[in-house]
Amino acid sequence: AVNGIYSGLQRIYNGTDTEGAIYMLTELRSDNSDYHYYNLDRGIQQREDISDFLMHSASVYNQYVWNELYNAVQQANKVLGSVGTAEFKDEKLRIRSESEARFIRALLYFHLVRLYGEVPLRLEATTGPGDAFTPKQATVDEIYAQIKQDVKFAVENLEVSYTGTNIGRATKGAALTLEGEVFL
C-alpha cells in the first residue's frame, strides 16, 4: 500500500504531456524557466498562459495537478487509516510505513497550499460518494499545522538511509528538507 503512494508521486513529477504538470505550475511560472512558443503554431496555448501567469481553472495542467495530488492524498490516507490496525511482523516496519505515508501526505499538501491556498484538508480516506465533498476548505494556517505535524513525525521516525530494494524511499534527510522549506 505504501508503494502505491509512491506510484502517485511518479504521475505528479513525470515530465511527459500533462503528467509532470507540477513543473508547469511551479517552475514554468518562476524565473527559473520560460516558455518560448513557435510563432507559426501556437497549439499549446495553456503552457504559454501558465508562463504568463494567466492561470485558469479550465487548464488541463491545473486540473491534472489537482486531481493527482488528491489521488495521492487518498492513497496516503488509506495507509494511515489502516496502519494502526494492520498486522505487522515487525513494529519497526509499521512505524516506517506510517512515517513514509505522513511524509508524502505532508509533501502533497505543501504543493496544494502553495499552489491553491485554502484547500480541503482530508485526513481520512474517502469511502464513498457521501463523503467525497467533505470537508470544506481549511485555512492556510490549518493546512500548515497539519504539514508540520506530519513532517515532525516523519523526521522523528524515518531512516537515515536504506539499502537494497528500499533505496529511494523517503528518508529522514528528505523530511528535514521539507521541514526547512515549510519554515521558509
Given a cut of 80, whether residue 70 has pLDDT beyond it is yes
The arithmetic mean of pLDDT across residues 110-136, rounded, is 89
Q: What percent of the chain has pLDDT over 70?
A: 87
Rounded to whole angstroms, the Cα distance separating 126 from 45 reads 35
Q: Which three cell numbers mark 57?
A: 481553472
Q: What is the pLDDT of residues 30-61, one digit of tens each?
A: 777 766 666 666 656 666 677 667 777 777 88
CA 160 from chain center: how many Å? 21
pLDDT for the residue 17: 61
CB 151 within 8 A of CB 175: yes
Neighbours of 153 (CB within 10 A): 18
Full-model pTM: 0.89
140: exposed, middle or buried (Cβ count in 10 Å: 0-12, 13-18, 19+): middle
pLDDT for the residue 60: 80
Mean pLDDT over the full length of the chain: 87
Q: Which three cell numbers mark 112?
A: 496544494
